[in-house]
């Protein structure tokens, strides 16, 4: 099924964001991981480049995976999500399957993940595919998630993106306050 899409964001200083019409989401930390040029150079398929980005994002923000309230994880394939959970530090390497079974990942659950359904449920919008996770994170922080609004806290959200067929990935922490 071919999909197309577009996306844009306004990024500004925290002091200017406070005066905008919509509640802002603040970038608290971010990082990029590049492990290979493309998937043809893969050594281990379960090694995700997001780990490098996640370590940078968490260090920059001062938070840990245990602090995250919602996860919006790039989901081109089911294995992508599992690898990203492990590499990002939400669970140990090789335990994502068990970790997923131990948690409720629905928007009403104890570990909300891809509260908008993710790309696996609605299709990848071409080059705008990764923006869906950021857009949903902002909606959750603003409490504009509609029928899939997380009922609990949405003050710290972990977001990932992917490019180059699992060769480079980004990680970002968004918050409801400039510094939580």
Query: Tens digit of pLDDT per residue, the chain (180 long)?
Result: 555 667 778 888 988 888 888 899 999 999 998 876 665 666 666 677 889 999 999 999 999 999 999 999 998 888 889 999 999 999 999 999 999 999 999 999 999 999 999 887 776 665 566 688 999 999 999 999 999 999 999 999 999 988 766 667 899 999 999 875
Is-contact 159 174, C-beta < 8 A? yes
Greatest alpha-carbon pair distance for the chain in Å reads: 48
Q: β-strands 70-72, 26-34: how paired? A: unpaired
> How would you write 130-145 as a 3-class SS string?
CHHHHHHHHHHHHCCC
For residue 135, give every residue at least 6 positions away whose Cβ sits within 8 Å of its Cβ, in sequence order, or none.
7, 116
What are the tokens at 157?
Answer: 């959200």
User: What pLDDT is recorded for position 19?
Assistant: 85
User: What pLDDT is recorded for position 164?
Assistant: 64
**SS3 call for 156:** strand
Q: Whole-structure pTM over 0.85, yes or no?
A: yes
User: What pLDDT is recorded for position 104?
Assistant: 98
| Fold classified for 27-175 | Peroxisomal Thiolase; Chain A, domain 1 (3.40.47)
User: What pLDDT is recorded for position 112?
Assistant: 98
> Any idea what DSSP says for residue 126?
G
């Amino acid at each position: 099924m071919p999909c197309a899409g577009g996306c844009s964001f306004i990024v500004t200083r925290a002091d200017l964001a406070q005066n905008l019409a919509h509640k802002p989401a603040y970038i608290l930390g971010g990082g990029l991981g590049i492990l290979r040029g493309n998937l043809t150079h893969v050594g281990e398929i379960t090694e995700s480049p997001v780990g490098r980005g996640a370590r940078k994002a968490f260090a920059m923000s001062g938070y840990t995976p245990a602090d995250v309230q919602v996860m919006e994880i790039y989901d081109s394939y089911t294995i992508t999500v599992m690898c990203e959970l492990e590499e990002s530090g939400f669970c140990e390497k090789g335990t994502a399957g068990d970790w997923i079974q131990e948690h409720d990942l629905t928007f009403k659950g104890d570990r909300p993940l891809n509260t908008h359904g993710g790309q696996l449920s609605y299709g990848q919008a071409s080059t705008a595919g990764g923006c869906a996770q950021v857009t949903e994170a902002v909606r959750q922080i603003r409490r504009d998630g509609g029928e899939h609004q997380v009922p609990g806290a949405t003050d710290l959200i972990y977001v990932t993106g992917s490019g180059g067929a699992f060769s480079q990935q980004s990680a970002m922490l968004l918050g409801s306050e400039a510094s939580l």
